[in-house]
A and B are shown apart, each in its own frame.
Chain A
Amino acid sequence: MAHSVAEIEGQLGKLWAHAAVARAEAARAEAALVAAQAEAAARAAAALAAARETSDAGGHHVAARTSVLNLVVVAGDKATAQECSATIAATASRHASRSLILSATDPDGPAGLDARIEALATTAARGRAEAGAETIHIAARGETGRHLASIIVPLLVHDLPVALWWPKDPPFGTHRAERLLPIADRLIVDGSAWSGSGLDLLAQMAAVAEERHVVVVDWALLRQARWREALASVYDLPDLRPHLGAVRRIEVEYAAAEPGDPAGATNVVRPLYHVAWLASRLGMTVVEPMRRASEGRRHATLRQKDHEVEVLLRPALSDLGAGSTVSVQIASRLRGAELLGSVAAGDRIVEVSVLDNGRERVRRSYVAPRLSDVDLLGRAVEEGVADPVAVRALAMAGRLLAPDSGVHLGSDRSSSHGTGDRSHDDD
């Protein structure tokens, strides 16, 4: 256990000097790695701890990964920190070279920090090259919890990109965000885990991304890759492709927390992203931003070329988790011909159907499993540069949620406050 940045640095140096023994242990644990990466990583860390006590041998180092970064996790509370730690450990063979997991405890207690360092020395699948990484768990107490940036900066591996992972509601506009965002090359969030409808934070994030040119990797958008492929496949047939310029209606059905989502409390970031992505790809502009209507519905009006496009987000009862997309429909009309493309997805299977003037033209289902948190973190870590499609989708989301849209009214706004992070946001 360390209690200052200097002690953490000292522990890190000692730790790698003893890593050779752990390497041997990790090699023995390799068979279990693929099936139970977290378990193997934990064993490797335990072996390392044992090695520290029994060996002074130095001079050997666990080979570092060739593609690395600093991953800073602003976990907020202890439970979230543990969840993030487990996800990081499960990506052991492909995760960042240095992870800092920060949580703030006892905000009114005496200032100080408790740090614990965990080393992950693993072999990759099939017993090949080694990967070495370390995770530093820092719990900041009292006044120290308000100065996280001062702890983070000295512990970053120099010359490596910094990813800032905010697993819960990011406190955009606060002093803490002002201090932490400038050190990050990319921001990792999960919009679908935000409190309330999530639209307030989404609008803020769109503004932050545009103003600060931060690369945003939103798991909510990453998760939709399988939906995007399915929707794109509707228009792969050359004779249907011209319909992309004649869209009249986009309708997204999502699983509501309660029937009709009367309080508007279901997170609708994912349904909104579908609309934002489609609108940005198909050259649409916002005529009327998103607004709440009766029966928990949300409406917007877009324009494509010379015609308007009606947008509807509709709550539905579903076995899927609240906020999950149930289906996406795109209706178009071109020279009198009506086309309706529909996509629905469950945990593993995606279904695509196309009705051409009421006649079934395509019906296909295929395997495209939902991405796990481990997959999502792996992808977020590997995103090298901003994905231009994601950038435009987020910017369009911002326009769909323009200030006069009404999303700031009622429950949407109030529901996204009061999170654990906000309680000490004056870094």
Chain B
Amino acid sequence: MSPTRVSAPPPPARTARQLREAATAARRRSRPDADTNPLRQGLRLERVPDPCAFVLFGATGDLAHRKVIPAIYQLWRTNLLPAEFSLVAVARRPYTNEAFAAEVRTSVEKFSRVQPIDEAAWDELAKRITYQQLDFSDDAGFDRLGARLDELDGQNGTAGNRLFYLATQPSQVTEIVRQLGRVGLDKEIRGAGWRRLIVEKPFGRDLDSARLLNHEVHKVFRETQVYRIDHYLGKETVRNLLVFRFGNGIFEPVWNRSYVDHVQITVAESIGVEGRGAFYEETGASRDILQNHLLQLMTLVAMEPPSSFQADALRDQKLQVLRAIAAPDADDVRRDVVRGQYGPGWVGGEPASGYRQEPEVDPDSETETYVAGRFTIDDWRWSGVPFYLRAGKRLPKRATEIAIQFKDVPLRLFRESAGDPAPNVLAMRIQPDEGIMLRFAAKVPGLGLDVRAVNMDFAYDTSFVVDSPDAYETLILDALLGDASLFTRSDEVEAAWAVVTPIINAWAESAPPHLPNYAAGSWGPEAADELLERDGRRWRRI
């Protein structure tokens, strides 16, 4: 008798969140017409953003003009935003709607990744741009903003949905959030619109300030309404890292301490502080790159497989990694973390001034423009595997890369070989030349048995027709769709600061090395090389 085929029942819900998700799914199944559009299946997006008002604070600033507005234009141009859309630009300077639209058009012409600008698409978008002059401490101004958004609901059909994007100075975040709460713009009413908040990094200066910032934000917005943006997580290759790890069965068995010797993650910039000296003096490489980009990349490499790609399932696993990173004490910092600052040198055939000679920088500054560290993750998968992280400005080239260095073979059968059969390396290039490279040993053709390392290279450029979207396009669209997978949760932020704050504190309490300690155009201070040489390793030549 043939066995009867029965479908397995879904696993029972175990947590309150699972119960909520199960209830939501059951509701959706019971009324499919209400939640899904069957015509969308198989299209670029199976769901499109709801009608909404995109409220951009700091709309006259550099970030808004270079990144946010060009990303909105690109989403609009490719029909990924709803027709019922308003862009409400908010800033202190006086502008008319027309003057502001004309100014941002110039920015879009300059910074949009697709040129030339499409007149028809731009004209349609420009009709939806409204400028609202507002001093962030002005109560009446926020009252007017609330009234204006209500008006736009009627005019443009934005249905009470609002996304507040804070492209402002970090110091203004708390005040804006407080004001939004005061006028009730945070309140979500069932069926009458959602309210979401995007906050740009930095999320605090250290653990205490991050906790305080989260506390202030949570006084007004629930965590599920908050989207902390780290644009690195929107990059195509970073997202591909998840696909690479969890969409390919062959790598998972070797993705652990038994096979991996060590991991190197590099975020190298060839540029200096580019006129942002005052900002950089307050941040330095540790706060600017290590606390967010580097540690986020590390979590994606090291995390356990999530149960789904739901936002919290993913972020729970990343959080586990951050919590398993051994927080360094003062001795650990002295031994395992290197700071540096660039002096004058040459980059790309051009002379480059030293950091202390940059505008708005203290001539005796001790701010680090380079940081490298050796970190370990105390869990079963990674125990004993060092993660070497480095980031710096004025390095020889712009390159971001994750390299998994595998262990050497247990027995060198080819020791007489003229070549050196180096251990396998899997390198994921985040930028530029996005792609993945696997290095392995191959026999050199001939009568002998010479072995040489060869590379198997995958490059995005040669394998896919479509251009990769800019990270801001990806992240803004995700936020509009209510998908927080690629945004950082408050507990993640605090766990990352718990790793970095002891480093900052240890440096504050000890004499710095002789600065500057590396020349612009070099790969950083000698101490960074010594950090790996001590372990019998060396930085990859990128």
Contacts and interface: CB of A to CB of B under 8 A. Distances in A.
Interface of A: 59, 63, 65-67, 93-94, 124-126, 128-131, 225, 228-233, 235-238, 241-242, 244-245, 278, 281-283, 349-350, 352, 362, 364-368, 375, 378-379, 382, 387-390
Interface stretch (B226-234, B278-286, B360-368, B457-465): B457-465
A367 B462 contact: no
21 contacts: A59-B445, A66-B458, A66-B459, A66-B462, A67-B464, A124-B459, A128-B461, A129-B462, A130-B462, A230-B79, A231-B39, A232-B37, A232-B40, A233-B48, A233-B79, A244-B38, A278-B39, A364-B83, A366-B124, A367-B120, A379-B465
B42 A387 contact: yes
Interface residues of B, number: 34
B84 interface: yes
Nearest to A364: B83
B82 to A, nearest CB: 6
A282 B458 CA distance: 40
Given A66-B458, A281-B39, A366-B124, A229 B445 contact: no
Interface of B: 33-34, 37-44, 48, 50-51, 76-77, 79, 82-84, 118, 120-121, 124, 433, 435, 445, 457-459, 461-465
Contacts of B43: 225, 228-229, 232
A368 B33 contact: no
Contacts of B83: 233, 352, 362, 364
A282 B38 contact: yes
B124 A365 contact: yes
Nearest to A365: B120
Nearest to A330: B39
A40 B284 CA distance: 46
B462 A65 contact: yes
B457 A129 contact: yes
A64 B435 CA distance: 15
A238 B459 CA distance: 41
A238 B462 contact: no
B229 to A, nearest CB: 25
Contacts of B121: 366-367
Contacts of B445: 59
Contact of B48 (A94, A236, A282, A352): A236
Given A59-B445, A233-B79, A242 B458 contact: no
A281 B41 contact: yes
Contact of A126 (B34, B50, B435, B461): B461
A63 B461 contact: no
Contacts of B41: 281, 389
A378 B462 CA distance: 12
A277 to B, nearest CB: 8
Contacts of A367: 77, 79, 118, 120-121
Contacts of A237: 51, 84
A124 B39 contact: no
Contact of A128 (B34, B40, B462, B465): B462
Contacts of B458: 66
A94 B33 contact: no
Contacts of B51: 237
Given A59-B445, A281-B39, A367-B121, A236 B82 contact: yes
A159 to B, nearest CB: 16
